[in-house]
Every structure is written in C-alpha cells, then in structure tokens.
Amino acid sequence: MKFVEEVVVDAFLPTYRAMLAERLRDRGLTQAEVADLLGVSQSAVSKYAHGEVDVHPDVEGDERVRALADRVAAGLADGTLSRVGALVEAEVLIRELEDGDLLARLHEAAVPELADADATFAVHDADSALRTSEQVLASVRRGLRVLTNASGFAGLIPNVGTNLVETLPDPTGIEDVAAVPGRIVDVKGAATVPGDPEFGVSEHVAGILLAARAGGAAANGAVNVAYDEEMLTAFTDAGYATVEFDPGAGDDGAERAVAAADLDDDEPFVLYQTGAHGVEAITYVLGPDAPAVARAVVETQLR
C-alpha cells in the first residue's frame, strides 16, 4: 500500500527543492541563505547543487512545476514572497497535481489498482484564505519596492507619514486590509519602512480605501502622499481622474465624493483634500492593487 503523500515526498519534494535551490543560487544567494529559505541543511543544498539528489524527470519537466519554481525563487530572492507564501503556492500546486493529474498518474503507476478506481485526492482549496492573504501581502511588498527604489520618493511623504495598502477580496473592515505597521516615514531623506506588511494595522489610509469602495470605486489598493497644486496638476496632465473631498467629513466625505464622481473602474484615480484646521492636506492614489498605485505615484511625480 502506497499513499499519494509518499509520491509527494519521494518524487515531488526532492525534485522541487533541487529546482528551487538551483534557481536561488543562480540569483546570487549563498548556500546558507538558500538553506534558510528552504528550511533544509546546508549539506542538503550542497547535494542539490552537485546533483546528488535523485530528481524525477516527469516532475522536473512539468511546465507548471518549472513556472512555480521560477516564480517562488524570484519572490523569495527579492523578499516579496514570504516562506509561508512560498509554502502555500507549492501546496496548492501539489493538490492540483494530485487530482487526476501528474501525481495521481505517478501514484497509479506505483499502485496499478488505482487506475480502475474512482478516486480523487484533491484536499486543498486553490482559493484558500491563507493563499489569498499571502498573495495580498506579496503584492504590498512589490508596491513598497516600487516606492522605496524610486529616487526622491521620501520628498513626497507627508508629515503624518505614508502608507501603502491593499484589501482582500470583499473586505468588511480594516482587518481585511494589508498595510505597513507604523507607516513609511522620511528618515534623513530616505523612505523608511518600519516593518513587514500586516493586516489590520492601518486605520487612516485603509479607511479611505474602504470608504471609496463603499462609494462605488473598484479600487483594491491605495497610497497617500503629500498634497500641493503642482502634484495635482501633474496627475491631471497624466490623465488621472481627480476627486476632491471635504476633510471635515472624514471617510464619509470621501465616500460621498467618490459616489458622485464618474470613475473608470480599470484605472487608478486621485482622491484629495486640501486641509483644514488641524488636518494636513493629503493626496490619495487609488487603483487595482498596491503596485499599480505605487507606479502611478512614481511615474507621475518622480520622472
């Protein structure tokens, strides 16, 4: 008796880890760094590198496995994908391959009686909440990389700080919005991110995004930057819709302003308020996801 999980352990995992190790090493990571990311020993990484681990040709040659290894290696190497996110992505593909696919066929080859059985091994949901959460966190990290890699971005940070946020599908509150804990701040001319994105750590920018969605906007991501008339003109000249709201009305004012505007669901737009007593003037860029709004700021204001 051989379980499909044994096929995963014996055929998929050694092959996939060897593929990941090779790709990570090709990206310049040290043996120790690769071992840490994969959760294996350095000696295991050395064996992968020297071809001392048996790989399964059917697994190694599968385009989906190759694409996953490429994508996960890139995300782990540049920090946009966490180890949890990498694990979830692999788990989802494994379950897909178990469901009448590659791993099921390898299982049937090991246990021929299964070929005639009406059996399925799909036990994980490809649209699981954990996978979706990790994908949103990875998206925020990608957006942060766009902002922090842009020369001069620190000069766009308002006194209250900047945050970059993105929602889960169908959010019900700020706990469903990923953001930077503590906000991005200007430290001696450098945009400084105090921590890895988390859910439920932004009230202000997350609140504006949720209010805009309540007003009918299709936006999933948002970022706030400083406000001045030249910045607003640059956004307008670049073709972005701009919507002003009353800062005294808070999130409700943002919701009403968006509801009254004629916005294109597919394009980022600008929501702004020009300040009030005790309220700093702020510009918000909203759009389909965190990288899209980050690019809108960089391409409009820093080039």
d(CA 16, CA 55): 8
Residue carrying structure tokens 């409009």: 300
% of the chain surpassing 90 pLDDT: 80
Which residue, 114, 141, 160, sits at the end of a domain? Answer: 114
Listed range (1-5, 9-13, 27-31) with the worst mean pLDDT = 1-5
Which residue, 52, 80, 114, sits at the end of a domain? Answer: 114
Looking at the structure, tell me whether residues 158 and 188 fall in a common domain: yes
Looking at the structure, tell me whether residues 279 and 194 fall in a common domain: yes
d(CA 133, CA 250): 28
What mean pLDDT comes out for the span 23-51? 93
Looking at the structure, tell me whether residues 71 and 185 fall in a common domain: no
* Residues ≥6 apart with Cβ < 8 Å to 65: 12, 15, 16, 19, 59, 93
Question: Residue 118 — pLDDT band, cuts 50, 70, 90?
Answer: very low
What mean pLDDT comes out for the span 176-205? 96
Looking at the structure, tell me whether residues 81 and 216 fall in a common domain: no
**Residue 123 within a domain:** no
* Residues ≥6 apart with Cβ < 8 Å to 146: 291, 294, 295, 298
Identity at 293, one-letter amino acid code = V
**Residue 92 within a domain:** yes
d(CA 178, CA 195): 12
**Residue 124 within a domain:** no
**Residue 67 within a domain:** yes
Which residue, 62, 83, 114, sits at the end of a domain? Answer: 114
d(CA 45, CA 152): 40
Whether the CB-CB separation of 191 and 161 falls below 8 Å is answered with: no
Listed range (1-10, 56-65, 124-133) with the worst mean pLDDT = 124-133
Looking at the structure, tell me whether residues 156 and 242 fall in a common domain: yes
- Check the CA dihedral 124-125-127-133 and report its sign: negative
* Residues ≥6 apart with Cβ < 8 Å to 242: 232, 235, 236, 269, 270, 271, 272
In the chain, how many domains are there? 2
Q: What is the CATH number of the domain that holds 273?
A: 3.40.225.10
Looking at the structure, tell me whether residues 149 and 88 fall in a common domain: no
d(CA 93, CA 127): 12
Domain carrying residue 207: 129-302
pLDDT at 230: 95
Looking at the structure, tell me whether residues 11 and 85 fall in a common domain: yes
Looking at the structure, tell me whether residues 34 and 136 fall in a common domain: no
Looking at the structure, tell me whether residues 136 and 110 fall in a common domain: no
Looking at the structure, tell me whether residues 298 and 225 fall in a common domain: yes
The pTM score is 0.79
d(CA 227, CA 158): 8
Q: What is the dihedral of CA 155, 147, 23, 178, to 10 degrees?
A: 130
Looking at the structure, tell me whether residues 161 and 191 fall in a common domain: yes
pLDDT at 123: 35
* Residues ≥6 apart with Cβ < 8 Å to 27: 73, 74, 77
